[in-house]
A and B are shown apart, each in its own frame.
Chain A
Amino acid sequence: MAQQAETAQVYFDDINIGDDVPTVEKGPMSPAHLMRWSAAIENWHRIHYDEVFAKEHDGLPDRLVNGSWKQHVLVQMMKDWAGLGGWLWKIGFQFRGMDVVGDTVTAWGKVIDKQQVGEYGVVECEIGLVNQRGENGTPGTATAVFPIRGGKPIPYPFVPPAE
C-alpha cells in the first residue's frame, strides 16, 4: 500500500535525456469507473454516463472518459516519479482525442531536457496518455524538479527558481 514511500528517490544525477518516465496504466474503464468520477466531482454532463444521449444527441462513439479524470493520471505519474524528495512543478496537456468506455489509458513520459537551475535539478518531459488502440489523445509537457545528490532538499512549499 505504501508503495510510494518504499520507492527509492530518483535524483537529478540519475536522469538522462531520452529516459522514459515509469508509466501508469488505468483501465479498462467501465461505465462504473466513469460514474464514480462524475459523482465524486458532482459533474452531471451526460456524455460521461448516458449512452443513448452520448451517441444520439452528441454523435459520439460512446460515453467519453472525462478529460477532468484523465489529467490526474498524468499528474499521478509525474508526482510519483518525482517522489517525496522531488516536486512536480508544472504540467500541461490538451484534450484532443476521445477515450471511451472500455478503453485502457496509459500515462507515459519521456525526458526531453534537463538543466541545473540554482539548487534545483529541473527536468522537462513530453507526456501523454495512450489508449490500447495506440491513440495518443492527451499530449502535453511537464516540468519536475529533482534533488541533486549532495545538494539541498527542495523546499516545501515549493519556491520556483528565479527567472
Chain B
Amino acid sequence: MTEETLTTLITDEIRELIGVEGEPFEVGEAVESGAVRRFSQATMDDDPAYWDQNHAQQTKYGGVIAPPLYPGFVNRRPAGSPDPLDRFKEDPEWDGTTGGEKPASGGLPPVNLPLRRLLNGGVTAEFFAYAQHGDRITGQQKYIDITERTGRTGLMVIIVTETTYTNQDGVLLCKVRNTSLRR
C-alpha cells in the first residue's frame, strides 16, 4: 500500500472524466451482409440467422441479423480520412494500435497517460436485441471508472468504458463494458 501512495498517474483532469458521456455517434456504415459474412466466417460461427433470409424470416428476428457483439465492431475508417498506417513512416516500431480506448470516434475525450501499452482486460455485455442487416447503429460511450494499481511492471491504469448501442428506430441492442489496461 505504501508503494501505491508514492506516485499516481490519475490526475484531477483524468478523475473528472469518470461519468462523462460522449455525444451519440453513428458507428460507421450500416450493417451490411458482406461485413457480417466476413465477421461470422472469421469467428467460424455459421448460424444461418446471419445469412439465410428464408430461415431468419421464420424466427423471432424477422430477418437476417448480425452476431450479438457485432455493434462494437462496426467502426470503420471513413473513406478519405487520414490513413493510420501512415504512422509507420515516422515510427517503424509502432505496434499498430490506434491507441487508447476504442473506438477512436467514440466521442469521449481521451485519457491522456504516459503509457504506451494497451491490454484488453475484459468485457461484460448485456443483450436486448440483435442488429438487422441494413440497420444504422448509434453508440454512446461513458467512462464508468478509472482506477490504477501497481503491477509487476509499475503502475497500471484500468479504464472501464460502457457503450450503449441502439438502432435507427431507437431499439436498444446491447450495452458493452470494456476494461482497458494501460501500462
Contacts and interface: CB of A to CB of B under 8 A. Distances in A.
Interface residues of B, number: 46
Contacts of A76: 43, 45, 47, 67
Interface string B48-81: 1100100100011100000111000101110000
Interface string B166-179: 00000110000101
Contacts, number: 118
A53 B126 CA distance: 35
Interface string A1-34: 1111100000000000000000000100000010
Contact of B41 (A36, A41, A92, A157): A36
A71 B69 contact: yes
A26 B48 CA distance: 18
A58 B116 CA distance: 11
A95 B119 contact: yes
B38 A92 contact: no
B93 interface: yes
A93 B122 contact: yes
A36 B121 contact: no
A1 B48 contact: yes
15 contacts: A1-B52, A40-B42, A42-B75, A44-B85, A45-B97, A46-B96, A58-B95, A69-B42, A76-B45, A79-B47, A91-B123, A91-B127, A92-B124, A140-B122, A158-B128
Interface of B: 35, 38-39, 41-49, 52, 55, 59-61, 67-69, 73, 75-77, 84-85, 93, 95-98, 119-129, 171-172, 177, 179
